[in-house]
Homo-oligomer: A and B are copies of this chain.
Amino acid sequence: MESVPHIAVVDDHRDIRDLVGKYLTQQGYRISVAESGSALRRLLERNAPDLIILDIMMPGEDGLSVCRQLRRSTELPIIFLTAMADDTDRIIGLELGADDYLIKPFNPRELLARIRAVLRRVNSLPPQREMPKAKTISFERWSLDVGRRELLGGDGVGVPLSTAEFRLLKAFLEHPGMVLSRDQLMDLTVGRSADSFDRSIDNQVSRLRKKVEVDPKNPSIIKTHWGGGYSLCAEVERA
């Protein structure tokens, strides 16, 4: 989570999703919403969040079973946010592997504080001894050092990236080959949706191409899909 933490809000009530989503967006988080467990699973496939806020009482699959299932495969932090007020419910929720449990009606600032507490714990980075960096993603003749936010050329020369460029490139590298619409790219980089005549992504792509492509006029790495978006066209290797 080098950029903006990404939080998924799962609740069958639109107003709650909107409320929580809006508040957390305001607080600088990137938000995805889902109205059911299956919607959450679709979301996970596309774009895994750093934390999940989960309602319990939902029609169909309930939050507890969603949690149980998530825990089988992941360690994603989960915070229950629900109207069930009974001690026992809280205990069951926590026993299922949730990280925290907050009761509706809730104070948004408390939700925020709890989110931060959980993320703080999850992200606490262990001290590193050496410079050799952990996570780098290689493609073509480049390698992106995610921790250091630096793009290294095959010749070992570093190209400085701006924040937006870094996020954009990271978004591409995390979805290699996939055609990403401007809207998705906006979502992945700044966490807001593009209004219809937004050309900012085009611009960022252009800027990024200038740094990454051999011949920016004839891009070979970041391909344009007319009317669709862009895609990264390269073998990527994570190390």
Minimal beta-carbon separation of A165 from chain B (angstroms): 11
Encode A159-189 as 1/0 by CB contact (under 8 A) with B. 0001110100000001111110000100100
Min distance, Cβ A191 to any Cβ of chain B, angstroms: 9
State in angstroms the CA–CA spacing of A185 and B91 once bound together: 34
Interface presence of A50 (CB below 8 A): no
A98 at the interface (CB under 8 A from B): yes
Cross-chain contact of A114 among B94, B113, B164 (Cβ < 8 A): B94
The answer, yes or no, to whether A104 is at the interface (CB within 8 Å) is: no
Residues of chain B within 8 A (CB-CB) of A98 are 117
A52 CB to nearest B CB, Å: 14
| A238 sits at the interface (CB 8 A) | yes
A77 and B121 within 8 A (CB): yes
Q: Please state if B124 and A95 are interface contacts (CB–CB under 8 Å).
A: no
**Bound: A178/B135 CA distance, A:** 11
A65 on the interface (CB 8 Å rule)? no
With a CB–CB cut-off of 8 A, which chain B residues contact A100?
100, 117
Would you call A149 an interface residue if the criterion is a C-beta within 8 Å of the partner chain's C-beta atoms?
A: yes
Contact A184 B123 (CB under 8 A): yes
Q: Closest B-chain residue to A178, C-beta based?
A: B147
Chain A positions 102-121 with a Cβ under 8 Å from a chain B Cβ: 107, 109-110, 112-114, 116-118, 120-121
State A107–B174 Cα separation when bound (angstroms). 37
Q: What are 7 of the A-B contact pairs (CB < 8 Å)?
A: A27-B196, A77-B121, A94-B117, A122-B125, A128-B174, A131-B177, A163-B226
